[in-house]
Amino acid sequence: MPVSAPTHPRPRRALGLPTPAAERPVAQVCVDVPLSHLDRPFDYLVPAELAADAVPGCRVRVRFAGRQVGGLLLARAATSEHAGRLDFLGRVVSPEPVLSTEIAALARAVADRYAGTMPDVLRLAVPPRHARVEAEPAGQPVPPPPRPATDGWLRYPRGAAFLDAVAAARPAHAVWQALPGEDWPARLAEAAATAAAAGRGALLVLPDYRDVERVHAACAALLGDGVVALTADLGPARRYRRWLAVRRGIARVVVGTRAAAFAPVADPGLLVIWDDGDDLHADPRAPYPHVREVLVQRAHATGAALLCAGFARTAEAQLLVGSGWAHEIVAPRRVVREAAPRVSAIGDDERELARDPAARSARLPLLAVDAARAALAAGTPVLVQVPRGGYVPALACGRCRAPARCRRCAGPLALPAGEPGAGRGGGVGAGGARAPSCRWCGAPEACFGCPVCGARRLRAAVVGSARTAEELGRAFPGVPVRTSGGAADAAVLRTVPARRALVVCTPGAEPVADGGYGAALLLDGWASLARPELRASEETYRRWLAAAALVQPAAAGGRVVVVADSTLAPVQALIRWDPAGHAATELAARAELGFPPSVRMAAVDGTPGAVAELLAAARLPPTAELLGPVPAASGERMLVRVPRGDGRALAAALAAAQAVRTARKAPDPARVHLDATP
């Protein structure tokens, strides 16, 4: 017969309390709890036996409101301000000082800027521990390399001056627009090696893994083992091993994706963000920090140089230039013209379909077919940029499932993007369904009639880039067709050889061609420009530039055909290859509308009650304007707008209001997202 075990009362605290450490017995700990009103250091006593291990920056466990919670030891102090009794540290998880004072201050500053909490930021900044990796012997610091040759920067008048500033450890700030065809990974590697040669660290943050690979290879050529790649897709062990090598000062140069913006590079001399318009640089988890803002903050705090680089220029980067905080590094017009391909636009009314039946079946404008044929005849590959699959669902006949075609150009019909998506609530109103329109020429289709069976109903059909590839293949018999990106499982190509081929890709998945493409056809313009988001124009232009920059210069025959109305601003900017001009126009337009970055804007999301309660608790700056509510995925959304100068006050007010709600144990959360674009 089973006998229930006697329940042992938990052994009381071992007889007698531990003695506090003799030196600096107080540990200031950032405890890992998600509540806003507890987002401050808490003091604990360091037991004498942990005195040596409890170093600033180490991981600890402490008792907090009864529970055991993790925390990071921020500092040791002689005394505490706390009036009550202090508990003792539970244990030191490891004496490895994973949080430097620089990154602790950065996490605090980023949390404050975004009305978030420090533990939330630290979860992004400090990777999970891997005990076995931590126990491995540390390597040897890699000695500084010689200062590299930087001839590649001579095409940019201010380029050499910037690198000199990096070499001399001056806090220069620059916004760089790379020339079309530029070997930008090599240029960034030279900049990083310049910082390393000066005995300082460098940090380069890129949108995705593919870019990290390229830049890492370029850096390794100059720095050998002194550079590590930090990406999220490494397993926990490899990720922690490389991160520790950085923290321990073994590797001085880091190339990585967005979380690497917090990499604890020792004595950073140069911080770089490439292609800051790519939304992969925006972290999707609270408090939603953006790499550019993290690096700007870090440059401020450390005196590191900052380089915001890309083919395109964002409105935010334009503001850095316009405010005088950053210099621009751009090539003279003459050099730009020499490097750029010839760009032509085919608008709605000027298009003329190819005559011969094969090309006609691909439903391509004559101009595009001609450009592609010429490039293929010259033995060069042709890049075809098509809309991301699923991003704009194509349409088919509701009865016979034949693809729905544009009556004007026979391109695929699609619904404008957006809705009923999560998060991007954006444009309400407009009432009812939007009319479908052609994905290639943009013509709206008011009343569809199926040419095959006569039905008038439409249904969604998934047409990926594979389908486009097939259609294009028929128009160019005998030409190999390759695809890159598109469906989730579609492979993304890194490079293609310098041979005749059609390379169909979705935006962001453009392979680099050896020697450059002979031509690029940009077919995604209508789908992309028609999106309701504020950034649609900037985003479309950024994608076009990314593709067009891979094409040979006009003098070598390089051509770009963009299917969009030539009067549109981004089309004009592409033809003139003028990213700075486009950014200035874009920034002016945002100022006119009262949108970021001309103002600071915060979005507050949640149930109507939660949103109202948060805003009621917030002591907003008197300049604050409330906009909304608009429906959002999780209830509704309000926008709060203030002049740029009141941005800090806005964030502080919203953080304080969050603290009021978490202290009150309000049941429904309200999410605060600074710099959200409406």
Alpha carbon distance 255, 261 (integer Å): 9
Q: Quote the least distance from Cβ 99 to DNA, whole Å.
A: 19
- Using CB under 7 A as the binding rule, whether residue 666 contacts DNA is answered as no
Piece of the chain touching DNA by CB under 7 A; list 39-47, 50-58, 210-218, 619-627: 39-47
Q: Quote the least distance from Cβ 459 to DNA, whole Å.
A: 50
Judged by DSSP in three states, 425 sits in coil
- Using CB under 7 A as the binding rule, whether residue 665 contacts DNA is answered as yes
Residue number, 82 or 474, with CB nearest to DNA: 82
* Number of residues near DNA (by CB under 7 A): 21
Please state at what angle helix 536-548 crosses helix 579-593, rounded to 10 degrees: 170
Q: Quote the least distance from Cβ 11 to DNA, whole Å.
A: 11
Q: Quote the least distance from Cβ 66 to DNA, whole Å.
A: 3
- Using CB under 7 A as the binding rule, whether residue 482 contacts DNA is answered as no
202 touches 272 (CB < 8 A): yes
- Please say whether the dihedral angle defined by the alpha carbons of residues 301, 307, 311 and 316, taken in this order, is positive or negative: positive
Show the site string, 208-247: x = touches DNA by CB under 7 A, - = not.
Answer: ----------------------------------------
DSSP 84: S
- Using CB under 7 A as the binding rule, whether residue 66 contacts DNA is answered as yes
Residue number, 85 or 355, with CB nearest to DNA: 85
3-class DSSP string for 510-560: CCEECCCECEEEECCHHHHHCCCCCCHHHHHHHHHHHHHCCECCHHHCCEE
- Using CB under 7 A as the binding rule, whether residue 63 contacts DNA is answered as yes
Residue number, 16 or 66, with CB nearest to DNA: 66
* Residues contacting residue 514 through CB under 8 Å, at least 6 positions apart: 495, 496, 497, 498
- Using CB under 7 A as the binding rule, whether residue 87 contacts DNA is answered as yes
Residue number, 43 or 213, with CB nearest to DNA: 43
Alpha carbon distance 382, 502 (integer Å): 5
- Using CB under 7 A as the binding rule, whether residue 35 contacts DNA is answered as yes
Of 47, 64, 545, 637, the residue at the interface with DNA (CB under 7 A) is: 64
How many other C-beta atoms are found inside a 10 Å radius of the C-beta of residue 137?
A: 4
344 touches 367 (CB < 8 A): yes
- Using CB under 7 A as the binding rule, whether residue 102 contacts DNA is answered as no
- Please say whether the dihedral angle defined by the alpha carbons of residues 186, 191, 192 and 194, taken in this order, is positive or negative: positive
DSSP state letters, 101-136: HHHHHHHHHHHHHTT--HHHHHHHHSPPP-HHHHHS
Residue number, 37 or 576, with CB nearest to DNA: 37
Alpha carbon distance 490, 499 (integer Å): 22
**Left if phi > 0, otherwise alpha if psi is -120 to 50, otherwise beta: which for 557?**
left
Alpha carbon distance 677, 279 (integer Å): 12
Residue number, 35 or 266, with CB nearest to DNA: 35
Nearest to 469 by CA among 503, 439, 436: 503
Piece of the chain touching DNA by CB under 7 A; list 35-43, 70-78, 625-633, 650-658: 35-43
Q: Quote the least distance from Cβ 26 to DNA, whole Å.
A: 9
- Using CB under 7 A as the binding rule, whether residue 37 contacts DNA is answered as yes
Of 67, 132, 334, 355, the residue at the interface with DNA (CB under 7 A) is: 67
3-class DSSP string for 26-46: EEEEEECCCCHHHCCCEEEEC
Of 23, 34, 68, 497, the residue at the interface with DNA (CB under 7 A) is: 68
Give Cα separations from 152 to 145, 179, 311, 512, 627 (angstroms). Answer: 18, 11, 16, 19, 48
Alpha carbon distance 416, 426 (integer Å): 13
- Using CB under 7 A as the binding rule, whether residue 656 contacts DNA is answered as no
Of 39, 44, 484, 670, the residue at the interface with DNA (CB under 7 A) is: 44
Piece of the chain touching DNA by CB under 7 A; list 80-88, 295-303, 443-451, 577-585: 80-88
Residue number, 58 or 413, with CB nearest to DNA: 58
Q: Quote the least distance from Cβ 664 to DNA, whole Å.
A: 8
Alpha carbon distance 508, 492 (integer Å): 9
Q: Quote the least distance from Cβ 8 to DNA, whole Å.
A: 12
- Using CB under 7 A as the binding rule, whether residue 580 contacts DNA is answered as no
Nearest to 197 by CA among 103, 273, 270, 303: 270
313 touches 580 (CB < 8 A): yes
Residue number, 38 or 498, with CB nearest to DNA: 38
71 touches 91 (CB < 8 A): no
Residue number, 355 or 665, with CB nearest to DNA: 665
- Using CB under 7 A as the binding rule, whether residue 19 contacts DNA is answered as no
- Using CB under 7 A as the binding rule, whether residue 17 contacts DNA is answered as no
Query: Looking at the DSSP assignment, which residues form a beta bridge with residue 522?
Result: 385, 562
Q: Give me the half-sphere count of Cα atoms (radius 13 Å) on the Cβ side of residue 535.
A: 18
Residue number, 374 or 660, with CB nearest to DNA: 660
- Using CB under 7 A as the binding rule, whether residue 86 contacts DNA is answered as yes
- Using CB under 7 A as the binding rule, whether residue 84 contacts DNA is answered as yes
Specify the amino acid at residue 210. R
Alpha carbon distance 114, 650 (integer Å): 9
Residue number, 61 or 248, with CB nearest to DNA: 61
Q: Quote the least distance from Cβ 62 to DNA, whole Å.
A: 7
Of 43, 102, 370, 668, the residue at the interface with DNA (CB under 7 A) is: 43
Specify the amino acid at residue 165. A
- Using CB under 7 A as the binding rule, whether residue 65 contacts DNA is answered as yes
- Using CB under 7 A as the binding rule, whether residue 24 contacts DNA is answered as no
- Using CB under 7 A as the binding rule, whether residue 8 contacts DNA is answered as no
Of 42, 153, 209, 544, the residue at the interface with DNA (CB under 7 A) is: 42
- Using CB under 7 A as the binding rule, whether residue 10 contacts DNA is answered as yes
Measured in Å, how far apart are the chain's first and last C-alpha atoms?
69
Give Cα separations from 677 to 283, 402, 574, 599 (angstroms). Answer: 14, 38, 24, 11
Q: Quote the least distance from Cβ 458 to DNA, whole Å.
A: 53
Piece of the chain touching DNA by CB under 7 A; list 32-40, 250-258, 374-382, 647-655: 32-40
Residue number, 45 or 319, with CB nearest to DNA: 45
Q: Quote the least distance from Cβ 607 to DNA, whole Å.
A: 20
Of 38, 133, 512, 591, the residue at the interface with DNA (CB under 7 A) is: 38
Piece of the chain touching DNA by CB under 7 A; list 49-57, 84-92, 234-242, 427-435: 84-92
- Using CB under 7 A as the binding rule, whether residue 82 contacts DNA is answered as yes
Q: Quote the least distance from Cβ 117 to DNA, whole Å.
A: 13
Q: Quote the least distance from Cβ 662 to DNA, whole Å.
A: 8
Site for DNA, rule CB under 7 A: 10, 35, 37-38, 42-44, 63-68, 80, 82, 84-87, 663, 665
